Each structure stands twice: as structure tokens, then as C-alpha cells.
Amino acid sequence: MISNEKQLEDLLSEPSPDDARAMAEMNGDLIILGVAGKMGPSLARRARRACELAGVSKRIIGVARFSERGVRESLECAGIETVTADLLAPHALASLPDAPNVLYMAARKFGSTGAEHLTWAMNTLLPGLVAERYAASRMVAFSTGNVYPLVPVQGGGATEDLSPAPVGEYAQSALGRERIFEFFSRRNQTPVMLLRLNYAIDLRYGVLLDIGQKVFERRPVDVAMGYVNVIWQGDANSVALRSFGLCQSPPAVLNVTGPEILAVRGIARMFGERFGVEPVLQGKEADTALVSNAGRCHKLFGRPSVTVEQMIDWVADWIRTGGATLSKPTHFETRDGRF
């Protein structure tokens, strides 16, 4: 089991031989925009450790506002260069270092309802500014499975060939982000990969933590959004690093998630077995859900290294022993797109 955050961070950032190979083949330095979010720190460390494993010298540069205390210092201790910047501020992008490889992670989701203007600025205006600033670079940009409509669960999940039909303003702005990157990719011939992710799992946040905490605390688990996909955050980070070789213009698109469509009811029962309690279930499963088919990703990069059962074991132990959390619920239950 994972007993503390240092051990967790070490595991999330541990590079695979494929990661090392990808960093060795990457031409030039890597800049990560929005590095201080939930996934960014472990991804930056994974990139640095992959370079060390491959025996290559490369700058890994992380850019963010760094509003959370200690994040910048911990990244610098890991050998990552940091730049503090509000990317929407005038001239902020112009002051950033050049880099032939850009990993775009800046985004806004929660708190969108009531502050839609900021969500649209972060998710559509900023991508345009970044695309202009780094027009000569290769770019991997995180998107989300929320750009898809709710689909029939029996269909196996949305594939990349399904036309987007986002529900709610956050999801609409996420599609806007993709369209802006596409516009500039076509205009400037910038190679881009768009990664439609749902949902990354860390022990401190994620769908499994949300469900597990409710079961442990004997709170109701809403099963109306009855099915989900999940992927270990380390595996999602690995896909991001290995995707630079697949960037193209117009942009390539790739779903990033685990191979299973999981029943929320079943996840709750698995946690119940581990905690020795009977889950309190509420509602009835709808016939549709926000689920994706990542078969294309698995053919390219292989199946995720961490199984659902392993993730549930880790999360259950983390909850039971009082492990730290980010206190950021995913709101995966939301069906109307209001975040």
C-alpha cells in the first residue's frame, strides 16, 4: 500500500522505459503551461526522471501562478525550472522561454457556474494566445471527454469519431479550446495532439476517492450517472509524454482513459467490501453516461499499468488511514453540465 504523499508522488512520477525513450526522441526542451494543477507536478517530475533514465540533457520548464504554497519549491528541488506567470496577463506569454515542445495543461472547470466569463477566457482565449506564441513548436494539449454527449452505455463509449456535442458551458468552452487549437494548427501548420481525458485517479482526488469517501462515511452514493471511466494519473501522464511523436496538423485527437466502463454501483460495493459496510445507494442508473472508448490509445501505447482493482485497494487504504486529500470533488454525478 501507499503510506504517504512522498511515496505517492514517487510512484506517480516513476518513468517507464517507454517514457525514457520518448524523452530521448524528443527534439529539444519541454515547457509545461499550467504545471501547478492536480496532474502537472507529477507529470513534470516524470519528464525529468525520464530524461535521467534515458541519459539525455533537457530543460523541463514549468509555468503557473503557483498560488499554492510549496509547489514551486518542490518542483525546483526535483530539477524543474519554474516561471511564475499569470498566462492571461498582458505580455506574460512573450516573456516565457522558447521551447520546441509545449505541454498545455491550463484550464478551468469547477466554479464555472456563475463565472462563465473566466472559464471561456481560460479555455478559449488563452489557447489562441498560446498557439500564436508557440506556433513553431509541437504541442500536446489536454482536453476532456466532456466534449462528447452522454452516450448509451451499451455502445462501449464515445470514440474519437463521434461528433462532439458538449453539455453545459464548461464542456462547450472545452470544445472551444479544441477548435481554437485546430484553427491555429491549420493556419500555422503547428503539429498538435488533443488528449480527451476522463477521469484521472490520484489518491488525493478523483472519482474513486469521491465514491470511497461516501461509502466510508455512510453517505448516499448517487447512481444516476451510473457509469464512468478511470485511469491512473501516472498512466495518463505517460501517454502525454509519449504523444509528442504523434502530433500533426490538423490536430490528432486521442481519448485517454481506462479500458473498462465501470458501474458506480459496483465501485461502491467494492469499497463496501473493503470497509465492511453496506453502501447507501441513491437513485437509478440512466441509460446514458459520459463514457469514452480509449481503444485507439491502448493500441498505440498499451493498456494502463495500474488496474481498477489496484486503484480501489490503494484508495480504500488511503481513506481508512486518513491520507491527505485535495478537497476537490469531481462532481462526476453531474448530468446537466453545470460545474
Phi-psi region of 193 (alpha: psi -120 to 50; beta: other; left: phi over 0): beta
Confidence of residue 338 (pLDDT cuts 50, 70, 90): confident
208: which 3 cell numbers? 474513486
- Euclidean distance between CA atoms 38 and 256, whole angstroms: 16
112 domain-assigned: yes
3-state secondary structure of 306: coil
85 domain-assigned: yes
- Euclidean distance between CA atoms 49 and 88, whole angstroms: 30
313 domain-assigned: no
Amino acid 229: pLDDT: 97
Amino acid at 256: V
Instruction: Give residue for cell 509545449.
Output: 102
- Euclidean distance between CA atoms 270 and 61, whole angstroms: 40
pLDDT in tens, 41-54: 999 999 999 999 99
190 domain-assigned: yes
Determine contact, residues 205/330, Cβ cutoff 8 Å.
yes
227 domain-assigned: no
- Percent of the chain scoring above 90 in pLDDT: 95
Amino acid 110: pLDDT: 65
pLDDT in tens, 259-318: 999 999 999 999 999 999 999 999 999 999 999 999 999 999 999 999 999 999 999 999
Count of alpha carbons within 13 Å of 200, Cβ hemisphere only? 25
- Euclidean distance between CA atoms 219 and 211, whole angstroms: 9
181-208: b or e for each residue (b if 16 or more CB lie within 10 Å)?
bbebbeeeebbbbbbbbbbbbbbbbbbb
pLDDT at 112 over 70: no
Per-residue DSSP letter, 250: S
Amino acid 111: pLDDT: 66
10: which 3 cell numbers? 514517487
- Euclidean distance between CA atoms 133 and 282, whole angstroms: 49
327 domain-assigned: no
pLDDT in tens, 177-232: 999 999 999 999 999 999 999 999 999 999 999 999 999 999 999 999 999 999 99
- Residue range of the domain that includes 76: 5-148+155-200+232-257+292-302
**Number of independent structural domains in the chain:** 1
Phi-psi region of 128 (alpha: psi -120 to 50; beta: other; left: phi over 0): alpha
Amino acid 6: pLDDT: 95
- Kindly report the CATH number assigned to the domain that includes residue 56: 3.40.50.720
Nearest-10 Cα torsion for 123, 159, 241, 43: 60
Instruction: Identify any residues that bridge with 64 across adjacent strands, giving them in sequence order.
Output: 84
168 domain-assigned: yes
321: which 3 cell numbers? 488511514
Per-residue DSSP letter, 246: G
pLDDT at 64 over 70: yes
Amino acid 113: pLDDT: 75
Amino acid at 131: A
13 domain-assigned: yes
Per-residue DSSP letter, 276: T
